[in-house]
A = this chain, B = another copy of it.
Amino acid sequence: MPNAIPEDSVGIVEPQIAHFDTPLELTCGRTLDSYQLIYETYGTLNADRSNAVLICHALSGTHHAAGYHSADDRKPGWWDAYIGPGKCIDTNRFYVVCLNNLGGCSGSTGPTSIDPATGKTYGPDFPVMTVTDWVNSQIRLGDYLGIHTWAAIVGGSLGGMQALQWSINYPDRMRNTVVIAAAPRLSAQNIAFNEVARQAIMSDPEFHDGRYADHGTIPRHGLRLARMVGHITYLSEHSMGDKFGRDLRTDKINFGYDVEFQVESYLRYQGDTFSESFDANTYLLMTKALDYFDPAARYDGDLSKALGQAKSNFLLVSFSTDWRFAPSRSEEIVDALTEAGRHVSYACIESPHGHDAFLIPNERYEAVFSAFMDRAANEAEQQKACEKGETACT
């Protein structure tokens, strides 16, 4: 029933698909001759196309960032708390675009798509992607939508890394960069957790070297374990303790290997749900893109030199209990931006929710985020007025 949809929601949304036939050269040396990107848009593109905001998703994200797919939809998009009329990314002012990344499993071309060269699914033959490849594909989506200059590129976690790479690679095609709960590159521990997840998937006998589709199966156990490990790193020790403590599922210890503690039950459920809905090859690819991300590498390892390419304003946000990408990792970016002479706002938000905090309502986070986006919206409107000759152009 549409009357169940909240007033500050973007409402019912429909994904769209853009096809591309210009070959895309990838970092790995291979080329994708053609591909499609699935995306959603919220709000209205203004006449001079100056109010577009691109949302980049994280590891298991999709193009469905806000609103509902039907009146019966039980859950809105993954960032609904922050995208909508009157919200931080205000759809009364912005035209918001969110896509599923290349290599994803939600509708954009990826391992589950048909490889035109063979007529079979790509599976493990789909090329390994990098954050730069995604940025290049997103540029094309902008071209397709008639957006030359984005008002802002915004993302959390791996999404924040895409925003950061955008600011370096395409400084003239964006005005603002929002990097939330990210890092300038992964630590050895971050890579180690990704490697455990990959080994869980790849050592599952149902993985069949990534050709599980040909065998009519999926590496369910491996994906489930990968998600369980991931989930531990998304929550803070504190929030896990608050949520579950040492609560037992039944009223006494059963001295066996079935679920005993609530936290076990929660993790198994999260793992099971994920393993039925996410593609294993995509999971591998996404974790590798994380591992490879290192924008400073092409600048002699000097992050401030890399960010010296950027022209946008920056907002950086971290969360006090995030131990996946701790505040100190955001602060490395802030320091490099400052050294590079860029405009940067930074807030470390007190939150008990660990890495997941970037998805969860929080008053101070909202205040900081809204203020930055408001300025970006004013800028976009000023841009429009300037182009109409109503004000002087800056």
- Interface residues in A184-199 (C-beta closer than 8 Å to B): 185-189, 191-193, 195-196, 198-199
- Interface residues in A215-260 (C-beta closer than 8 Å to B): 221, 224-225, 228-229, 231-232, 235, 237, 240-241, 243-246, 253, 255-257, 260
Q: Is residue A263 contacting chain B, with contact meaning CB distance below 8 A?
A: yes
In the bound assembly, the distance between CA atoms of A240 and B188 in angstroms comes to 6
In the bound assembly, the distance between CA atoms of A120 and B267 in angstroms comes to 34
B185 pairs with A199, CB closer than 8 A: no
Contact residues in B for A128 (Cβ distance below 8 Å):
255-256
B237 pairs with A202, CB closer than 8 A: no
Q: Is residue A203 contacting chain B, with contact meaning CB distance below 8 A?
A: yes
Q: CB-nearest residue of chain B relative to A242?
A: B188
Q: How far is the CB of A262 from the nearest CB of chain B, in Å? A: 8
In the bound assembly, the distance between CA atoms of A263 and B264 in angstroms comes to 28
Q: How far is the CB of A272 from the nearest CB of chain B, in Å? A: 11
B225 pairs with A267, CB closer than 8 A: no
Q: Is residue A28 contacting chain B, with contact meaning CB distance below 8 A?
A: yes
Q: Is residue A172 contacting chain B, with contact meaning CB distance below 8 A?
A: no
B243 pairs with A188, CB closer than 8 A: yes
> How many residues on the A side are at the interface (Cβ–Cβ under 8 A)?
55
B189 pairs with A267, CB closer than 8 A: no
In the bound assembly, the distance between CA atoms of A338 and B244 in angstroms comes to 28
Contact residues in B for A257 (Cβ distance below 8 Å):
124, 198, 202, 284, 288
Q: How far is the CB of A89 from the nearest CB of chain B, in Å? A: 32
22 A–B pairs (Cβ distance < 8 Å), ordered by A: A29-B255, A187-B240, A188-B237, A188-B243, A189-B232, A189-B237, A191-B263, A191-B264, A192-B240, A192-B264, A195-B228, A195-B264, A195-B267, A195-B268, A196-B225, A196-B267, A198-B257, A199-B224, A200-B225, A203-B225, A246-B294, A255-B288
Q: Besides A192-B228, A199-B225, 17 other CB < 8 A contacts?
A: A27-B255, A128-B255, A187-B240, A188-B244, A188-B261, A189-B235, A191-B261, A192-B232, A192-B240, A192-B267, A195-B263, A195-B264, A199-B268, A202-B257, A203-B221, A246-B294, A261-B291
